[in-house]
Amino acid sequence: MASDMNGRKSLSDFRHDALSETTSTNSECVERARAGDLGNLWVTAARQTGGRGRRGRTWVSEPGNLYASLLLIDPAPMDRLGSLPLAVAVAVHQAVRSVLPAGAEPVEVKWPNDILIGRKKTCGILIEGEALPDGRYALVIGIGINVAVKPDNPLYPVTCLREQGASVSADELFAHLYASMAEALQAWDKGRGIREITARWRAVACGIGEKITVNLPDRSISGHFAGIDDNGLLMLDTGSGKIMPIAAGDVFFGS
């Protein structure tokens, strides 16, 4: 199977480079893009020495967990990229759920794309983009999944797949992720499949209707999580019928 005539992706379109150690698989992907890589490249590492999280945080990256980044080049027109994080979350959710035993606690997506098991974070996703000097746009989807170990985090409760009864290795989990990402990107269809993706995202979303606080870079806002719009923006009901769309922030439940 290869890309169809509309450029939709399938399994055989992707390459995979497995490293034993790197600073950050995201940085590795950006460097390869700058060096001319054509994209559709997965880079994984058994260990990262400079793993990066959102908002400049460190992502502790000891052996045993999955550290994976997917490099895409010109994945869609810029005005359609806003929905890509939702497609990524749907793919990672699918991979995580598929390795958990029956009866495990619920696997949910926390806006925009953390994956929680029993409301504890088990995966973080860092999506970064860079305009290359030759005019191409490099987009890197970085995914860290707690498989065997759960680094402490003072900001939120954390779990790992082993604690939740899954006995997979990081490599085995990656095989599931590789397949589910190819399928979700095909459904996303360069942003044309946004309705399908938002429907899938809503079906596994955590906390719609609940009271939340969203931490923005300069302030915090509280309200009720009214869902997402078709571009993936969080809709915050701040009271008296006012809905505020939010593009980026950290969500805390029940506060």
As measured in angstroms, the least distance from the Cβ of 128 to ligand BTN is 9
Judged by CB under 6 A, the residue of 53, 64, 118, 129 near ligand BTN is 53
Q: Within 10 A of 242 (CB to CB), how many other CB atoms are there?
A: 9
Q: Binding segment for ligand BTN among 10-18, 63-71, 77-85, 172-180 (CB under 6 A)?
A: 63-71
Cβ contact 166:101 at 8 Å: yes
Cα distances (angstroms) measured from residue 230 to each of 58, 65, 110, 126: 31, 33, 16, 21
| Site residues (CB under 6 A) for ligand BTN, limited to 92-131 | 124-126
Q: Binders of ligand BTN: how many residues, by CB under 6 A?
A: 19
As measured in angstroms, the least distance from the Cβ of 8 to ligand BTN is 25
Buried b (16+ CB within 10 A) or exposed e, 177-205: bbbbbbbbbbbbbbbebbeebbebbeebb
Largest Cα–Cα distance in the chain?
54
Nearer residue to ligand BTN within complex by CB, 19 or 226: 19
Position 73, amino acid: I
d(CA 205, CA 216) in angstroms, rounded, equals: 20
Q: Is 52 in the site for ligand BTN (CB under 6 A)?
A: yes
Question: Burial of 63 by CB count in 10 Å (0-12 exposed, 13-18 middle, 19+ buried)?
Answer: middle
Judged by CB under 6 A, the residue of 40, 48, 122, 186 near ligand BTN is 48
Site string for ligand BTN, 13-32 (x = CB under 6 A): -----------xxx------
Residue from 66, 58, 70 nearest 28 by CA? 70
d(CA 49, CA 221) in angstroms, rounded, equals: 35
Nearer residue to ligand BTN within complex by CB, 29 or 81: 29
Site string for ligand BTN, 139-178 (x = CB under 6 A): ---xxx----------------------------------
Position 177, amino acid: L
As measured in angstroms, the least distance from the Cβ of 2 to ligand BTN is 27
Nearer residue to ligand BTN within complex by CB, 52 or 93: 52
Judged by CB under 6 A, the residue of 51, 82, 207, 249 near ligand BTN is 51
Supply angle C-alpha 203, 250, 56, rounded to 5.
125
Judged by CB under 6 A, the residue of 30, 33, 37, 59 near ligand BTN is 59
Binding site for ligand BTN (CB under 6 A): 24-26, 48, 51-54, 57, 59, 67-69, 124-126, 142-144
